[in-house]
């Protein structure tokens, strides 16, 4: 006769199964949201073309190159997300690289174009906050994006982009936004995970109740 398992094996196996299903749900959410994120970011970037190029027509080539590179990054991310075997860890990695690519391209454009610090601040803030809205990831991933935005802005200031107000205020403001987004992700992730576990327990209880009330087969 097979030896019975330890007392804690059953609950541990159930908890592990819930975590696996939760990870698969998040991976599917990443896949579903990626096209909307791509359209939203590219639409915003494209919408800035008219005011930007009307003021700086000499930057048309640089602007279009950066926009094309952004589109390539999003299309590559979208294609990578479409794999049926997409895991949560891979989805986070793809999304993180996409956001870092946006930070680098946006900052690089403003440095090359000698743009305004306030516009760069607004753009990096949009990327940092947009990541929270778009991706159901953890605080570690959001911390990377938020830190990259603050670092990129500091690099832009060091490279000589023009600021009409004290740059120290910009850094404090962006760092505050970055910290708030990380805190928000911590809370959102906790609530999301808690609700999923609660729903899983209710579903398991419902199945068990149905099983318990089934009539016994005739002996």
What DSSP line would sit under the chain, residue for residue? -PPPPPTTHHHHHHHHHHHHHHHHHHHHHHHHHHHHHHHHHHHHHHHTHHHHHHH-GGGHHHHHHHHHHHHHHHHHHHHHHT-TT--HHHHHHHHHHHHHHHHHHHHHHHHHTT-BHHHHHHHHHHHHHHHHHH----HHHHHHHHHHHHHHHHHHHHTT-B-SS-HHHHHHHHHHHHHHHHHHHHHHHHHHHHHHHHHHHHHHHHHHHHHHTSPPPP-
pLDDT at 56: 85
| Rounded CA Rg of the chain | 23
Angstrom distance (rounded) from CA 87 to CA 80: 11
Contact 179, 146 (CB under 8 A): yes
pLDDT at 76: 96
pTM: 0.82
Contact 30, 86 (CB under 8 A): yes
pLDDT at 83: 85
Angstrom distance (rounded) from CA 9 to CA 15: 10
pLDDT at 202: 62
pLDDT at 145: 97
Per-position pLDDT tens, the chain of length 219: 444 445 445 455 556 677 788 888 899 999 999 999 999 999 999 899 888 888 889 999 999 999 999 999 999 999 999 988 899 999 999 999 999 999 999 999 999 988 889 999 999 999 999 999 999 999 999 999 999 999 999 999 999 898 888 888 999 999 999 999 999 999 998 888 887 777 666 655 555 555 556 565 554
């Amino acid at each position: 006769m097979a030896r019975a398992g330890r007392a804690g094996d059953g609950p541990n196996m159930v908890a592990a199964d819930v975590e696996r299903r939760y990870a698969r749900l998040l991976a599917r959410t990443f896949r579903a949201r990626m096209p909307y994120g791509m359209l939203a970011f590219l639409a915003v970037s494209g919408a800035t073309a008219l005011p930007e190029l009307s003021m700086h027509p000499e930057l048309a080539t640089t602007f279009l190159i950066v926009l094309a590179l952004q589109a390539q990054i999003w299309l590559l991310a979208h294609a990578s997300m479409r794999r049926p075997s997409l895991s949560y860890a891979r989805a986070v990695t793809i999304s993180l690289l996409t956001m870092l690519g946006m930070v680098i391209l946006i900052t690089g454009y403003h440095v090359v174009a000698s743009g305004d610090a306030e516009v760069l601040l607004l753009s990096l803030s949009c990327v940092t906050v947009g990541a929270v809205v778009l991706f159901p990831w953890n605080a570690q991933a959001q911390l990377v994006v938020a830190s990259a935005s603050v670092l990129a802005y500091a690099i832009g200031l060091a490279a000589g982009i023009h600021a009409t107000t004290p740059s120290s205020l910009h850094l404090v403001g962006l760092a505050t936004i970055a910290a708030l987004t990380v805190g928000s992700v911590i809370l959102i992730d906790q609530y999301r995970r808690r609700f999923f576990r609660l729903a899983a327990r209710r579903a398991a209880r419902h199945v068990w109740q149905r099983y318990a009330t089934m009539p016994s087969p005739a002996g």
